[in-house]
Amino acid sequence: MSDASHTESGRSATRVKVCGVTRESDREAVVAAGADAVGVVSDVPVDTPREVDADTAADLLAGVPPLVTGVLVTMPTTVEAAVGLVEDAEPDAVQVHGGLSPGELGALSRRLSQDLVVAVDAGADDVRDYADAADALLVDSVDAAGGGGTGETHDWERTREIVADLDVPVILAGGLTPDNVAAAVETVDPFGVDVATGVERVEGGERVGGEKDHEAVREFVAAATRREVAA
Ligand SMILES: O=C(O)c1ccccc1N[C@@H]1O[C@H](COP(=O)(O)O)[C@@H](O)[C@H]1O
């Protein structure tokens, strides 16, 4: 990464992606809070309240304004399936979870004009094998099927080693919240951070999956970037 990405303190300016947006009002809140990227989950084989159908994904991504990155988050089983979905949804970037091999991800990357973010399990031994195929690695706490959105943190010290070892930008994900993201950034020094469940609405003590808490989104972006909370 070039020196231009670092502040005077030496720490890079942390990019923020808010993922699992299912509603226009939440997309607007994420953009207004100053997030760099908006994630929309579509065509995943896991049971998640953040999944939207292909038409909704395309509509949500089409409304992401210039200078903010609209990211399609998906779990394709083949390169061809991923290419078809991307052609329909027209995102600015693509984030892939699941079973594609490094070779298949390389083939997918060559078929796409968009940047490819590859999600890897923070606990896996082969994380580095995926770096060559990816424009960025998303180091996440994944479930048994390879999906994200678990709300679980992982060993940040290990992810810090991955950041230090690899040239590819590393995005930290998994269980981040407005309360822990500053410590996560301090520990891992990632290129960016990504959150889904940690900024969802809570009602009667229960999290409302797929709906964002706009105040939590503002707090998350502020804590991740050390900006003041927007009024
Ligand atoms: O959010 C989901 O349900 C999801 C489903 C399938 C693949 C990826 C998914 N989300 C990604 O996981 C990270 C971490 O989520 P969390 O903050 O721990 O809830 C999220 O940022 C998405 O990129």
DSSP H or E run through 61: helix 54-62
pLDDT number for residue 10: 59
Other C-beta atoms lying within 10 Å of the C-beta of residue 185: 23
What is the residue whose two structure tokens read 């303190």? 9
pLDDT number for residue 231: 60
What is the Cα–Cα distance from 77 to 79, expressed in whole angstroms? 7
Q: Which residue's alpha carbon is nearest to atom 9 within ligand 1?
A: 148
What is the Cα–Cα distance from 73 to 93, expressed in whole angstroms? 9
SS3 state at 12: strand
The interface predicted TM-score (ipTM) is 0.98
DSSP H or E run through 74: strand 69-74
What is the Cα–Cα distance from 220 to 172, expressed in whole angstroms? 14
pLDDT number for residue 143: 82
What is the Cα–Cα distance from 95 to 109, expressed in whole angstroms? 11
pLDDT number for residue 149: 84
For the entire predicted model, the pTM comes to 0.93
pLDDT number for residue 20: 98
- Which of 18, 73, 199 is the pocket-test mutation for ligand 1 (most atoms within 8 Å of CB)? 73
pLDDT number for residue 115: 98
Q: What is the mean pLDDT for each group of 10 consecutive residues in the chain (231 residues)?
A: 47 91 98 98 96 98 98 97 97 95 97 97 91 95 84 94 95 98 96 98 95 98 80 60
SS3 state at 17: strand
Cα–Cα distance list, 145 to 4, 75, 141 (Å): 38, 10, 11
Q: Which residue's alpha carbon is nearest to atom 6 within ligand 1?
A: 147
What are the start-end ranges of the E strands in the chain? Answer: 15-18, 37-42, 51-52, 69-74, 93-96, 115-121, 136-140, 170-173, 192-195, 200-203, 206-212
What is the Cα–Cα distance from 159 to 119, expressed in whole angstroms? 13
Is the CB of 117 within 6 Å of ligand 1?
A: no
In CATH, what number does 15-225 get? Answer: 3.20.20.70
For the CA of 194, the nearest atom of ligand 1: 21
CA 46 to chain centre: 17
